[in-house]
Structure formats: structure tokens, C-alpha cells
Amino acid sequence: MGEMEELRKEADNLKDQITEARKVVQDTTLQEAVAGTTLVGRVQLKTRKTLRGHLAKIYAMHWGTDTNCSKLCVSASQDGKLIVWDTLTTNKVNAIPLKSSWVMTCAYAPSGNMVACGGLDNMCSIYNLKGKDGNVKVMRELAAHTGYLSCCRFLNDSEIITSSGDCTCILWDIETGTEKTIFAGHLGDCMSLAVSPDFKMFISGACDFTAKLWDIREATCRQTFSGHESDINAIGFFPNGNAVITGSDDATCKLYDLRADQELITYQDSGIMCGVTSLAASLSGRLLLAGYDDFNVNIWDMLKAERVGVLAGHDNRVSCIGVSSDGMACCTGSWDSFLKIWN
């Protein structure tokens, strides 16, 4: 097959070109650049609230972002419930029973009007929190994925992006319940996604060990980042949108710069041998909080790549973590069925 041979050669050439182009701009390393920067002092956060109410493992949580709900968050548990919490009072604002208890992800719309969830039912269910009669009902069931729903994030009240075990991500029109764009390219289950601060791009992490940057409106994959040696479970943007942080089963987190198109640093420690399940950046981006399979959260100085703190308090795997939009608090969710608020 002459054509296959030619295509293979061209692919190899292009890969070499990319490797070369990345080397050309590598005039220093982040490690060298921050040599003169002082390490952040020890960070000691305390549990301020414990949110009790779920009866099984918590798989996901997401903070509200609107000024009206900056202290609200939604959590999803395999007890078959989505709970919207007022984190200041620990009261449950809503307790939403789900059709399928095998939930893996949840999301809060930026407007605060809706929440979404999905999991082994392969669907993304959208719930209207502000229905006329006060009842929370399913508004849409977005069905098209042929694999489990691993993550979902709202762009606005009419659009949501989902990632799936079928190796694709989809941009949905919530109104019509149909797919606007299918983002294909990953060669393994997509595990996590994050939307850029300007809502123009999103990044996905997958079981093919790569992270991909997608242009939402152009519907293209702009960049692919490799380096991890196992599944990427968690992904997030650095607050200015110019860099991406990933967390993997290979026990490390990595920082990739989008404009330099390469990995800048790896967050690893010989004492850490278990997978990263979740991650979140503090408001300034200086701190990286990462949840691990060993029940802890490690806090890293993002520039110096050294551990500066630990959050120990859960009795099982930390499955999800988030920093509130005003940066005032960090929330962790665990397989021990509790959520904790720290600052």
C-alpha cells in the first residue's frame, strides 16, 4: 500500500518537525527561570465545614460562579443524588434524585440557573433549578455518546460540553438537545475537560496519556500535549488561560504552556506513588491543589514545583476538588461520602 507508506512517512516527519520546533524555543526551563523566586511558605488550611448528607461515594463537585452563588456548590454521589449546598450554612438548597445512580460528573451553570450530571448512562442530564413551581426537574437529556460521561461543563445556559469514554467530546445545543460539534481525535477514553477563562477553547485529558486543546467555534484540535505515562484523570487551566495543568495515574501533575507548546514542569515526589484524581489552582495560580488516591490533597508551589502543604482529613480517596470563584475556599469531595470546605 504505497499511500499508507507515504502517509506514515509524512506523519513521522511532521512529528519530528513539532519536536524540533519545541526545542528551538526552549531557551531556558521554568525551573531555571524561577531559581531566584522564593518558595511559598508552608500552607496550612483547616477544615471549616463538613458537608454531610450523601450516602455513598462522591464522584464530582463544582462551585457556582455567579455572584449570587459563589458560596454554592453542587455534588454528585453514587447514592443517586445531586445536592446543591450552601457552603456557608452547610444547608442543602436542593437534593435532586437521579434516574441513574451511576453518576461520574456534575456541573453548575455560570448563571446559577441549571446543573448537569451524567455517568454510566452515557447521557448528560440538565436540571432547571429555577423552575416556576420551585420543583427541580430534568430539562433535557443529551444522548449521543456511546460511552460513559466522564465530565461536563456549561458554556452558558444554552450550551454545554461533555467528555466521554467513547473517546470524543461534544458541544451540545441544550435547547434542541442535539450535538453542535463532535470533537474526535483522542485514542482513549476522555476523562476530564476544562473550559478556558475566555470560553473560546477547552482542553481534554484522556486515557491515551495526552491532553488536547480544542477551538470551540472552529471545531478543531489546535495542540496535543504528551509526556504523561498513564491516563490523565484531571485537567484545568492556569487562571490566565495561557497554561494547562494535568493530573495523571502516573502519580504526577504537569504544567504545559499553550503559547510555547510544551511541558514546562512536572510536579512529582518519590514519596508519591498513587494516581492524581483531581486538581484545582488557587486564584493567583501560585498554588496547585491536587487530590490523590492515597486520601490526601497535596498543595504545590506551581512555579517552584515543590510541595508546600497537605490537606489530610478524608477517610477515603479524594475524588474531586474545586476552588471557589472568589478564591476564598477549597472544597474536596471523597469516596468517604463527605465534602469538606478548607481555607
Q: What residues between 303 and 332 interact with other proteins by CB under 8 A?
A: 303, 323, 326-330
Cβ 26 to other proteins, closest distance in Å? Answer: 5
Q: What mask of x and - would describe binding to other proteins in positions 139 to 158, judged by CB under 8 A?
A: --------x-----------
Cβ 130 to other proteins, closest distance in Å? Answer: 24
Cβ 133 to other proteins, closest distance in Å? Answer: 28
| 34 contributes a contact to other proteins by CB under 8 A | yes
Report the alpha-carbon angle 226-203-146, nearest 5.
95
Task: Give 80-99 as a DSSP string.
Answer: TEEEEEETTTTEEEEEEE-S
Q: What mask of x and - would describe binding to other proteins in positions 271 to 310, judged by CB under 8 A?
A: -----------xxxxxx--------------xx-------
Q: What is the DSSP secondary structure assignment for residue 33, as one 8-state letter?
A: H
User: Considering beta carbons, is residue 142 or 244 the nearer one to other proteins?
Assistant: 244
Contact predicate 230/249, CB 8 Å: yes
Distance between CA atoms of residues 159 and 328, nearest Å: 28
Grid coordinates representing 228 are 504523561
| 22 contributes a contact to other proteins by CB under 8 A | yes
User: Considering beta carbons, is residue 146 or 176 the nearer one to other proteins?
Assistant: 146
Grid coordinates representing 231 are 491516563
- Sole window of 18-26, 124-132, 137-145, 172-180 interacting with other proteins (rule: CB under 8 A): 18-26
Residues 101-130 binding other proteins (CB under 8 A) are 101-102, 104, 120
Which value, to the nearest 10 degrees, does the dihedral of the CA atoms of residues 206, 211, 212, 216 take? 80
Q: What mask of x and - would describe binding to other proteins in positions 176 to 195, judged by CB under 8 A?
A: ---------x-xxx-x----
Residues 220-259 binding other proteins (CB under 8 A) are 220-224, 231, 238-240, 242-243, 249, 257, 259
- Other CB atoms within 10 Å distance of the CB of residue 139: 18
Grid coordinates representing 9 are 512517512
Cβ 326 to other proteins, closest distance in Å? Answer: 8
Residue 265 neighbours by CB under 8 Å, 6+ apart:
29, 30, 31, 254, 255, 305
| Binder among 62, 71, 153, 307 for other proteins (CB under 8 A) | 71
| 1 contributes a contact to other proteins by CB under 8 A | yes
Report the alpha-carbon angle 240-242-248, nearest 5.
105
Contact predicate 148/155, CB 8 Å: no
